[in-house]
């Protein structure tokens, strides 16, 4: 008897919920879709099928609970107002995320919000024409009207299913949703804590907060930058100068530098034909991107007695020397780690990013997406052009840095002593370098018929279990593998014919010790530009280069304290 009573009570509750669905189907369906669609797409794209299903059931539970709360209020008018508010605060972020999803293949993030907040009225019109248009709006409005139609004409109520079956169906749905919610809260607690499963309104709010902070930090940094470049001599004539800025690339994992796996076939061939100069003893001044960029493109170094932004920077010098400057990047467009690069980018004549994203967002954009951007930039050439092309290179996660077609190596190709998991990571990094070889050589090839000079230099290195069980890079106490980087200079035949002595200087310098906080001196020396801060002793191709100068990293002598003990 008691069992039957409990069953009857449960079915009665299910009946009440079923009636709740019938009376609020349009509202609940719309609220569910506005909060589920974009996240489901993102999870599906990441092949998280269990989460796609579990997230849907748990969101269904949440929508049901919210609807129950709304029904507590006594009057129809209050209920309508509450429903309207809920749909509005869900609908607006949904529209923004649909835009981001369609154009950037990503959920809303601080990078996109950052770009929107910094857009002026003219850019806004272009933005509308290029990315949104009336077709996109019509599609969204059409979907909303369909759901309103379903609610208005109570389509669900017309479905002929017995009340008993409806109650059982609702009861089953609630049980499954409860179990799915419990599963997500336990198995995916980390994703809940770090906001990876937030609702669109939560993501939008957090992104706006981060974007505002990024803009404020950028504006403060920009206001401090020294923009007065005192050029003392300008004999620059080279029409095409390209600086490929790599990322987290270890020369110890490049076949070009002796690594056992053949993961740099194109660069190997260029070396065999004597078309590139491969520098053998270069290190970075730091082991993180933002710290390196402060020194790499300014006259600041470890001996500096003032802040890095008080020195002239390479972009401003090239601008003032008559070069049209381009900054093309596959890295973040804003954020705590992107503000320094953004500073240089915005000082360039033209800057473009493959994705609008914050430092904490990584959508796995491949460096190959830079090719059409470079093609477009080359269509806008001036008499003299300077390109900075910022790659993702070998940045972790390594498996996100190459397409499937470049998955050449597997753990079975790794012959060194390592665990199975480490061999998988080593193979992934080898593939990232293999793809990087394709990117760098592809950029070089685009300038092969022009009078051009191409420099390839990563910001810093990377350790891949080279001396420990650690893979990656850290700024604190870096080892030699995080600092030792490849540096390559390529020159076209037209360049070599016009500047044979300069090419000989480059070739003669390949075995000299160098730290890249002095790179601005070398670049300006190559293009025959001098400023009041230029020092020939810090240019690796100059006859006055001081090879005995200590290479200090965080107060430690690289050659005597870091290199020997690693």
Domain ranges of the chain: 2-213, 232-562
What is the per-residue pLDDT for 158?
A: 57
- Say whether pLDDT at 120 is over 80: no
Output the CA torsion sign for 535, 537, 538, 539: positive
Reduce the DSSP state of residue 286 to 3 states and report it.
Answer: coil
**Which whole number is the average pLDDT over 30-44?**
85
CATH architecture of 232-562: 3-Layer(aba) Sandwich (3.40)
Q: Dump pLDDT digits (tens) for 535-548.
A: 999 999 999 999 99
DSSP state of 322: T
Instruction: Encode pLDDT of 354-405 as tens digits.
Output: 876 544 455 558 999 999 999 999 999 999 999 999 999 998 889 989 999 9
3-state secondary structure 519-544: HHHHHHHHCCEEECCCCHHHCCCCCC
Percent of the chain with pLDDT strictly greater than 70? 78
Q: Is the pLDDT of residue 180 over 90?
A: no
d(CA 100, CA 30): 20
pLDDT band at residue 251, thresholds of 50, 70 and 90?
A: very high
Between 274 and 95, the higher pLDDT residue: 274
Helix ranges (H only) for 105-187 are 110-117, 121-127, 133-152, 163-187
Structural Rg of the chain based on CA atoms: 29
Confidence of residue 329 (pLDDT cuts 50, 70, 90): very high
Position 337 scores a pLDDT of 45
0.75 surpassed by pTM:
no
Reported as a pLDDT band with limits 50, 70 and 90, residue 124 is very low
């Amino acid at each position: 008897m008691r069992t039957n009573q409990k069953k009857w009570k449960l079915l009665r509750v299910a009946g009440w919920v079923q009636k709740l669905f019938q009376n609020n189907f349009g509202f609940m369906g719309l609220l569910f879709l506005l909060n589920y669609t974009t996240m489901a797409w993102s999870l599906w794209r990441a092949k998280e099928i269990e989460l796609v299903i579990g997230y849907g059931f748990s969101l269904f539970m949440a929508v049901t609970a919210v609807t129950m709360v709304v029904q507590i209020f006594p009057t129809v008018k209050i209920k309508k107002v509450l429903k309207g508010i809920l749909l509005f605060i869900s609908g607006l972020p949904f529209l923004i995320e649909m835009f981001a999803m369609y154009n950037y293949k990503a959920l809303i993030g601080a990078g996109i919000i950052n770009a929107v907040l910094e857009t002026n009225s003219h850019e806004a019109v272009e933005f509308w024409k290029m990315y949104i248009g009336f077709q996109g709006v019509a599609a969204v409005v059409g979907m909303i009207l369909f759901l309103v139609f379903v609610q208005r004409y109570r389509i669900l109520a017309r479905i002929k299913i017995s009340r008993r079956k409806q109650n059982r169906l609702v009861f089953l749905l609630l049980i499954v949703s409860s179990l799915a919610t419990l599963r997500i809260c336990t198995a995916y607690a980390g994703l809940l804590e770090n906001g990876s499963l937030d609702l669109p309104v939560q993501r939008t709010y957090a992104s706006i907060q981060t974007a505002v902070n990024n803009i404020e930090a950028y504006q403060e940094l920009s206001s401090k930058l020294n923009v007065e470049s005192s050029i003392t001599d300008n004999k620059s004539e080279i029409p095409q100068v390209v600086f490929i800025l790599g990322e987290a690339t270890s020369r110890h994992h490049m076949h070009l530098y002796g690594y056992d796996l053949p993961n740099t076939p194109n660069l190997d061939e260029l070396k065999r034909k004597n078309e590139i100069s491969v520098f053998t003893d270069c290190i970075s001044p730091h082991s993180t991107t933002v710290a390196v960029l402060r020194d790499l493109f300014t006259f600041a170094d470890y001996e500096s007695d003032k802040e890095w932004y008080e020195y002239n920077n390479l972009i401003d010098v090239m601008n003032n020397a008559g070069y049209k400057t381009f900054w093309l990047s596959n890295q973040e467009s804003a954020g705590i780690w992107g503000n320094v690069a953004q500073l240089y980018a915005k000082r360039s004549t033209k800057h473009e990013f493959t994705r609008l994203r914050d430092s904490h967002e990584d959508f796995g954009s491949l460096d190959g997406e830079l090719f059409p951007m470079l093609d477009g930039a080359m269509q806008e050439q001036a008499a003299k052009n300077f390109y900075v092309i910022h790659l993702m290179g070998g940045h972790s996660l390594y498996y996100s840095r190459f397409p499937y077609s470049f998955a050449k190596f597997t753990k079975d190709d790794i012959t060194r002593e390592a665990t199975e998991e480490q061999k998988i990571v080593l193979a992934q990094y080898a593939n990232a370098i293999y793809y990087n070889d394709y990117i760098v050589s592809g950029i070089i090839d685009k300038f092969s018929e022009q009078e051009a000079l191409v420099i390839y230099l990563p910001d810093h290195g990377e350790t891949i279990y080279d001396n420990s069980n650690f893979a990656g890079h850290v700024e604190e106490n870096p080892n030699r593998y995080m600092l030792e980087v490849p540096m390559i200079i390529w020159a076209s035949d037209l360049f070599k014919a016009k500047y044979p002595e300069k090419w000989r200087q480059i070739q003669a310098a390949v075995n000299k010790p160098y730290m890249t906080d002095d790179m601005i001196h070398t670049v300006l020396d190559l293009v025959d530009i001098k400023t009041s801060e230029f020092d020939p002793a810090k240019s690796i191709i100059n006859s006055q280069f001081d090879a005995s100068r200590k290479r200090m990293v965080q107060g430690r002598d690289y050659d005597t304290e870091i290199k020997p003990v690693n």
